[in-house]
Amino acid sequence: MVLKLYFDLFSQPARSLYIFLKLAKIPFEECRVNLGKGEHLTKEFAETKSKIQKIPFIHHGDFRLNESIGIVRYLSREYSIADHWYPKDSKKQAKVDEFLEWNHLNIRLNCSSYFLVKWLMPLKNGKQPSEEECKNLTRRMEKSLEDFERIFLSNERFLFGNSVSYADVHAACEIEQTRMAGYDVRDHFPKIKTWIESVRSECNPVYDQAHKFVNMMAEGNEKQLNSKL
């Protein structure tokens, strides 16, 4: 049965799903959706591709599924993949799930809000956020990152021991996004820096391929910043 992945590497969960599929060696057909052009917003797209109109999603034969985490769980049942990506052991799986569920209203919400308000919205409608808004966004994001370090990062190489899991990739892709808005988490959280570099090194060269656009934009920001100094 053909597996089609609909994605745009501009999106954090699309990148994590793309990296997972490549490294877990699940064969798939690449179906690019250009978010910038709003390709996902038409009525035709909703009818023929995905009613939720968000990426990433998959078509697996006739079966359509949205939401990266749900997709990883589904594919881990449908394909034979290395156990470390999403463990079959009930308690180990539960701990991966605990993190992935916690993540939504913490790193996911607060890093992407920072990115949206500081980078995407000014680009779209020319409106810069106020100083107070920026302060609040930074405060909330840093609270989530502190919690992430304190609660979930130990002295082990990855979130759940010495092997990378989908949870590592999922969180790393969210955290990378803020670099486009000029905030490199590595500069502020040394424990996250060590961990994210392990994830990157374990998942390379696919990790860097998936972050090509993010890196390009982040370098642009750095040059902009340097030219101001």
Q: What is the CA 216 to chain-centroid distance, rounded?
A: 17
Segment near a copy of itself (CB under 8 A); pick from 99-107, 116-124, 134-142, 189-197: 99-107
Q: Tell me whether residue 118 or residue 170 sits nearer to a copy of itself (CB atom).
A: 170
N-term to C-term CA, the chain: 55
Q: Tell me whether residue 64 or residue 193 sits nearer to a copy of itself (CB atom).
A: 64
Q: Tell me whether residue 110 or residue 217 sits nearer to a copy of itself (CB atom).
A: 110
Q: How many residues does the chain have?
A: 229
Segment near a copy of itself (CB under 8 A); pick from 62-70, 125-133, 179-187, 210-218: 62-70
CA trace torsion 156, 169, 223, 217 (10° rounding): 180
The dihedrals phi and psi of 53, each to the nearest 5 degrees, come to 60, 35
Q: Structure tokens of 92?
A: 């180990």
Residue 94 Cβ vs a copy of itself, minimum distance, rounded to whole Å: 4
Q: Structure tokens of 189?
A: 């959280």
The dihedrals phi and psi of 176, each to the nearest 5 degrees, come to -60, -30
At a CB cut-off of 8 Å and minimum separation 6, what does 174 contact? 12, 103, 107, 108, 111, 112
Q: Tell me whether residue 63 or residue 213 sits nearer to a copy of itself (CB atom).
A: 63
Binding to a copy of itself in span 146-175, by CB under 8 A: 151
Contact track, a copy of itself, 100-129, x by CB under 8 A: xxx-xx--xx--------------------
For binding to a copy of itself (CB under 8 A), which residues are involved?
Answer: 51-52, 63, 65-71, 73-74, 77-78, 90-91, 93-95, 97-98, 100-102, 104-105, 108-109, 151
